[in-house]
Amino acid sequence: MWTNFFKLRLFCCLLAVLMVVVLVINVTQVEYLDHETVSATFIDSSGQFVSSQVTRISRNPYCGYDQQILSSQERMEEDSLLAALHGQVPDVGPVPFVKSTDPSSSYFVILNSAAFFKVGSQLEVLVHVQDFQRKPKKYGGDYLQARIHSPKLQAGAVGRVVDYQNGFYKVFFTLLWPGKVKVSVSLVHPSEGIRVLQHLQEDKPDRVYFKSLFRSGRISETTECNVCLPGNLPLCNFTDLYTGEPWFCFKPKKLPCSSRITHFKGGYLKGLLTAAESAFFQSGVNIKMPINSSGPDWVTVIPRRIKETNNLELSQSSGTFPSGYYYKDQWRPRKFKMRQFNDPDNITECLQRKVVHLFGDSTIRQWFEYLTTFVPDLVEFNLGSPKNVGPFLAVDQKHNILLKYRCHGPPIRFTTVFSSELRYVANELNGIVGGKNTVVAIAVWSHFSTFPLEVYIRRLRNIRRAVVRLLDRSPKTVVVIRTANAQELGPEVSLFNSDWYNFQLDTILRRMFSGVGVYLVDAWEMTLAHYLPHKLHPDEVIVKNQLDMFLSFVCPLET
C-alpha cells in the first residue's frame, strides 16, 4: 500500500513540475508576442482604420525617444500608429522630376455614373495619376484631398481616399444633400515630395529652432533651445518634473540656468533641399493643384422619401465617414443635432456660471478672440500679456462667466513667451477641480509638425492621462478636443507645416482620444469641406461653426 502511495505522490510531483514548465513556456511566448508583434492599424488618406498584424517597427532615435519606458499597452499603441503612418509612403528610390506626379496630366472619372442619385447614396470616383511625360504611374503615395460641393447651396463634404499603390486611387463620397453636386480632387503633394517631407521629419527635426533670453542685472545672453541639442556644450535642463517632457537650452557663458527670462522662435533653417528635391515643391505646378475630370465632374442628387430619410438617419447614427457636411454655410454633424448660436445672448445663456479653459495653440486662441468680440458682456481683463501670446482672461460678472486662454508648453513658435508662463497642458489640467460648470477645450498640433511623430505621441499621452484623471474625479466636466486643420501651402511652408504633416498629427490625435470620453470638434473636415481657401487660421464663418459645435457639446439640445 505504501509503495502505491509513494508512486502516486511521485506522479503528482512530476505532473506539477510539468505544469510549471508549460506555464513558463506560455508566459515566455506571450511576452515574446508582446515584444515582437503588435496589432497595427493601417490608415488610409481619409483617416479610416484597417487592422492588421505587423512586426514592431524601428523607432526614431531622436532625443532618446526610442528609449522611453512604456507599458506594453502604450508601446503597442505607439507601434500601431507609427506602422500605419510610415507604411503609406512607398520606397522606390530616386525619381527624376519628369517621372513624378503631374496633376495636369492626371485625371479622375466618376465610376457609378447614373441619371440621378438619392440622398445617402455612395459615389465612387477613380483617380489615375500620370507623370510629366504623360505616362501612368505604377506606384502610389501621393497625398490627395477630395470633396463634393454645391456652390449655390454653400454645401460641401469631404471624400475618403484609398490608395491602391499602383497609380490608381478611389475616392468614396456620401451624397448628403439634393441638387447638382460637383466633385473636386486635388494633388497636395506628389509621392516624390512626400518622401522628401518624411526625410525632413526624421532627419531634420531641428529645422525650426528656438531661443531663450537669460538676464541678470545688466548682463544678458541668448542661447538656442530645443527638445534636444547636438554636440557636447554645457546645457540647461528644463525637462518638466511632472510630465517628463524634455526641453534644453545651451547654457549661457556667464549666467546661471535659473536666469532664463523668455522663450521665443529663433527661425527656420534654409537650404534644406537639393535642386532636384525643390522641383517637387512648386506653386502652380504640384502643390495643391486640381486634378481634372476626363468626363462629367458632377451628378444630380434627388431627395429621399420620408420613410427612406428616417432609415437613413438611423443608419448614420453609428458615426460613418464623413463626420458632417456644410449646407447653407452651416456645419451639420451626422452624429447629433448641432445648435446655432447666432445671438450673443444664446452664448451667454449657455456659458452662464461656467469657467471655460482654452489650452493650446493660436487656432484655439481664435475661439477666445471670437467670443470676446461677438459677446459684448464678455470683457477681456488686461493681464499685460504679449499680443497673440497670452495668457488671456475675459469676465462677464453679470452672468458669472470666466473665460481663460493659455498657450501650451514648448515647442511653441510664438514670438515671445515669458518662461514663467511656459506651462504644459497636462500640468494645468491636474490643477483643475472640474465639475458640471467647468469646460475645457484643447488644441495641440501645429507646433509639432516638424518633429518625429514620437514627440507628438508622448505629448498627447501626457495630456490624455491628465484628461482621464480629470474625468475620473469630476465626470461632469466637459472636455472638447479641437482637431488640426488644412492650411495654405507654398514651397517653403510645405517643409514645415505641410497638410501631410498635419494629417498625420490629426490621425494620431483622433486615435489616441478615441473612447476617452471627450468631444471632438472636427476642424479638419470643416476646413476641407468649405469653399473658402485653406488657412492656418480659418476665416470667421468656419470659426463660428467650430464654436457652434463646441457650445452644442456644452449646452446640448434637450431631448
Query: 370-382, pLDDT tens digit by residue?
Result: 999 999 999 999 8
Residue range 306-329, pLDDT digits in tens:
655 544 444 444 446 899 999 999
Alpha helix segments (H runs only) across 165-278: 191-203, 275-278
Average pLDDT over residues 20-37: 35
Residues 107 and 66: beta-carbon distance below 8 Å = no
At residue 115 the predicted structure's pLDDT band, cuts being 50, 70 and 90, is confident
Q: What are phi and psi of 31, to 5 degrees?
A: -65, -40
Residue range 530-556, pLDDT digits in tens:
999 999 999 999 999 999 999 999 999
- Residue 422's closest CA among 431, 430, 412? 412
pLDDT of residue 412: 96
Average pLDDT over residues 53-69: 64
At residue 388 the predicted structure's pLDDT band, cuts being 50, 70 and 90, is confident
At residue 5 the predicted structure's pLDDT band, cuts being 50, 70 and 90, is very low
- Cα distance between residue 22 and residue 153, in whole Å: 68
Average pLDDT over residues 227-250: 95
pLDDT at 14 over 50: yes
At residue 451 the predicted structure's pLDDT band, cuts being 50, 70 and 90, is very high
- Cα distance between residue 40 and residue 119, in whole Å: 35
Q: What share of the chain is helix, strand, coil (3-state, %, to 5)?
A: 35, 30, 40
pLDDT of residue 390: 87
Beta bridge partners of 394: 380, 403
At residue 426 the predicted structure's pLDDT band, cuts being 50, 70 and 90, is very high
Q: What are phi and psi of 72, to 5 degrees?
A: -60, -35
Which residues, other chains included, contact 30 with Cβ-Cβ below 8 Å and sequence gap of 6+?
none
pLDDT at 245 over 90: yes
Residues 107 and 183: beta-carbon distance below 8 Å = no
pLDDT of residue 332: 97
pLDDT of residue 128: 98
Residue range 480-530, pLDDT digits in tens:
999 999 999 999 999 999 999 999 999 999 999 999 999 999 999 999 999
Spell 135-151 as b/e; 16+ CB within 10 A means b: eebebbbbbbbbbbbbe
Q: Give me the helix-helix angle, 362-374 and 344-351, nearest 10°.
A: 110
pLDDT of residue 404: 98
pTM across the whole model: 0.87
- Residue 185's closest CA among 250, 118, 262, 106? 106
Q: Provide the 10 A C-beta neighbour count for residue 166.
A: 13
- Residue 106's closest CA among 93, 90, 125? 125
Q: What is the mean pLDDT of the chain?
A: 88
- Residue 448's closest CA among 62, 121, 96, 4? 62
In this structure, what is the dihedral angle of CA atoms 381, 386, 387, 388, given to the nearest 10 degrees?
-100
Domains in the chain (CATH in brackets) are 97-189+286-305 (2.60.40.10), 208-268 (no CATH), 329-554 (3.40.50.1110)
Q: How far is CA 4 from CA 10, 14, 15, 459, 526, in A?
A: 10, 15, 16, 66, 80
Q: What are phi and psi of 112, to 5 degrees?
A: -90, 55
**Which secondary-structure segment (H or E) carries 75?**
helix 72-86
- Strand segments (E) across 424-490: 438-443, 478-482
